[in-house]
């Protein structure tokens, strides 16, 4: 009887946790699939003006990605040497750069986003997804996301066919900083030039 009672007590603790975990896993898959649908509807649409496309992409990026974390990561060791005003300037310039770089790439894109699995590792969800291009190869993505303090999913990184977009972007920025006599300021100026050109 004692064994049975202990088993029931244990089950009461375990089952809700497992249920909640499974629910969050499904929600994480829905989150990235829904983001893909929104990209098709609000960014890919050829009837949008470029201004509308950029505004829609910016809203999706800022709402779905942890842009502050991403900004810190891509700047690497240089981040700690910046004062608060320079950090704000970099984050703004980087966000503008992301929009200017990626929004035009989606114009007219046709395809579907299919989340196939989601694994929890150290409080992060790694959502595996296939992106089926209408006229191209299938891309295999892994989205690294987490739940913020408001219980909203936020994206930290996207791994495309085995390549981390954050690591790739940081390597590119490190090269620019290293080869520019103005360092981080030179990188900011280069991003501003790209977004205003």
pLDDT of residue 113: 93
> Can you tell me the mean pLDDT for 93-111?
95
Strand partners, 144: 126, 157
- Residue 9, number of CB atoms within 10 A of its CB: 10
pTM, two decimal places = 0.86
**Phi, psi (degrees; rounded to nearest 5) at 126:** -105, 100
**How much is the pLDDT for 176?**
96
The confidence score (pLDDT) of residue 2 equals: 54
CA 74 to chain centroid:
13
Q: What is the pLDDT of residue 18?
A: 46
- 3 by Cβ neighbours in 10 Å (0-12 / 13-18 / 19+) ranks as exposed
Reply yes or no on whether the pLDDT at 165 is more than 90.
Answer: yes
**Higher-scoring residue by pLDDT: 175, 9:** 175
pLDDT digits (tens, 9 = 90+) for 170-195: 999 999 999 999 999 999 999 999 99
Q: Which domains are seen in the chain, by residue range?
A: 2-196 (3.10.450.710)
Q: How far apart are the first and last CA of the chain?
A: 77
- Closest by Cα among 89, 115, 156, 109 to 27: 115
pLDDT 10s digits, 131-150 = 998 888 899 999 999 999 99
pLDDT at 7: 47
């Amino acid at each position: 009887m004692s064994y049975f009672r202990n088993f029931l007590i244990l089950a009461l603790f375990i089952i809700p946790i497992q249920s909640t975990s499974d629910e969050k896993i499904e929600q994480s898959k829905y989150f990235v699939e829904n983001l893909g649908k929104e990209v098709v509807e609000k960014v890919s649409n050829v009837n949008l003006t470029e201004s509308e496309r950029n505004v829609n992409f910016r809203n999706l990026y800022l709402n779905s990605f942890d842009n502050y974390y991403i900004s810190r990561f891509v700047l690497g060791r240089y981040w700690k040497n910046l004062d608060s005003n320079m950090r704000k300037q970099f984050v703004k310039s980087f966000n503008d750069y992301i929009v200017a770089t990626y929004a035009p790439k989606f114009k007219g894109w046709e395809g579907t986003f299919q989340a196939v699995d989601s694994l929890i590792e150290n409080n992060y969800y790694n959502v595996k997804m296939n992106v089926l291009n209408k006229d191209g190869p299938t891309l295999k993505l892994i989205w690294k996301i987490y739940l913020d303090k408001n219980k909203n999913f936020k994206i930290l990184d996207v791994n495309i066919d085995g390549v981390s977009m954050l690591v790739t972007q940081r390597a590119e920025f490190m090269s620019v900083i290293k080869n520019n006599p103005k360092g981080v300021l030179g990188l900011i100026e280069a991003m501003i030039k790209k977004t205003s050109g």
